[in-house]
């Protein structure tokens, strides 16, 4: 979900409902009416009370902070993991006292078996919700653009329900987009833009 003060321009957000909020309580109505509908994976909400609506939304969830990496090798491929039946990118919770960059590198190493990986720069931020053991969580993930040699042996962290780790070429990334989460599509888009910029 995206909450903004002004309405988005044009049809930049195809397939996602765009709704104006006039009161904070409108948010509760949107959540109760939209979320149960099949095929709804997000919404753009706008209005003068955007900050209050965002604070209200966050108050409904237990916060989780995570970090992850969009890792590129020397051939321009993207490192992907297959977890719980879908393609994903390596990420995980930040340990207490751990910096975001350190957590991102640790998670990539643990989930993919890499030994050599380095951060180039921050990439983007995503938010998503999930329910576990009866508690609703709001996860904020800080993503980093990373590099790693593609010759390294990959090993899936099966204790985290990861069944495959693969370097995805262009065709693989396109296929991955059809079988991943909405938040990961945001990261892939940022990665594609960053990789394209580095080639020009």
Q: What is the mean pLDDT of the chain?
A: 88
92 or 10, which is more confident:
92
List the single range of 66-80, 112-126, 177-191 with lowest mean pLDDT.
Answer: 177-191
For residue 121, the enclosing domain spans 64-199
| Number of structural domains found in the chain | 2
Backbone angles phi, psi at 59, to 5 degrees: -65, -15
Pair (152, 83) in one structural domain: yes
Q: Which of 13, 30, 162 is nearest to 87 (CA)?
A: 162
The answer to whether 153 touches 162, Cβ cutoff 8 Å, is no
C-alpha 168/C-alpha 174 separation (Å) is 9
Instruction: Mark whether 21 and 94 lie in a shared domain.
Output: no
Q: What is the CATH number of the domain that holds 140?
A: 3.90.79.10
Token digits of residue 5: 């003060």
Residues 167, 133 share a domain: yes
Please tell me whether residue 195 adopts helix, strand or coil conformation.
helix
pLDDT of residue 6: 57
| One domain for residues 100 and 192 | yes
The Cα–Cα gap between 91 and 125 comes to 12
Q: Does residue 103 sit in the same domain as residue 168?
A: yes
Please report the pLDDT score of residue 154 as a whole number: 97
**Co-location of 34 and 130 in the same domain:** no
- Specify the range with the lowest mean pLDDT, choosing from 35-39, 45-49, 192-196: 35-39
pLDDT digits (tens, 9 = 90+) for 121-139: 999 999 988 889 999 999 9
pLDDT of residue 10: 43
Q: In the predicted model, what is the mean pLDDT of residues 50-73?
A: 93
DSSP assignment of 50-91 equals: HHHHHHHHHHTSEEEEEEEEEEE-TT-PEEEEEETTEEE--E
Same domain, 110 and 49: no
53 with 80, same domain? Answer: no
Task: Supply the pLDDT for residue 2.
Answer: 52
47 and 86 part of one domain:
no
pLDDT tens for residues 148-196?
Answer: 999 999 999 999 999 999 999 999 999 999 999 888 999 999 999 998 7
Interhelix angle 182-199/170-177, nearest 10 degrees: 160
d(CA 148, CA 114): 8
Does residue 81 sit in the same domain as residue 43? no
């Amino acid at each position: 979900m995206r909450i903004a003060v002004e309405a988005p321009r044009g049809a930049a957000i195809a397939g996602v409902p765009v709704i104006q909020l006039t009161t904070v309580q409108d948010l509760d109505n949107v959540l109760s009416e939209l979320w149960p509908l099949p095929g709804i994976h997000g919404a753009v909400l706008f209005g003068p009370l955007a900050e209050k609506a965002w604070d209200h939304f966050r108050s409904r969830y237990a916060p989780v902070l995570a970090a992850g990496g969009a890792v590129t090798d020397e051939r321009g491929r993207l490192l992907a993991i297959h977890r719980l039946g879908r393609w994903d990118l390596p990420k995980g919770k930040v340990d207490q006292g751990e910096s975001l960059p350190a957590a991102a590198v640790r998670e990539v190493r643990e989930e993919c078996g890499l030994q050599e990986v380095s951060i180039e720069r921050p990439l983007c931020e995503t938010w998503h919700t999930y329910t576990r053991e009866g508690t609703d969580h709001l996860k904020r993930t800080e993503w980093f653009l990373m590099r790693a040699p593609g010759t390294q042996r990959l090993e899936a962290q099966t204790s985290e329900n990861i069944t495959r780790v693969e370097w995805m070429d262009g065709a693989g990334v396109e296929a991955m987009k059809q079988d991943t989460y909405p938040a990961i599509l945001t990261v892939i888009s940022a990665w594609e833009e960053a990789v394209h910029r580095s080639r020009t």
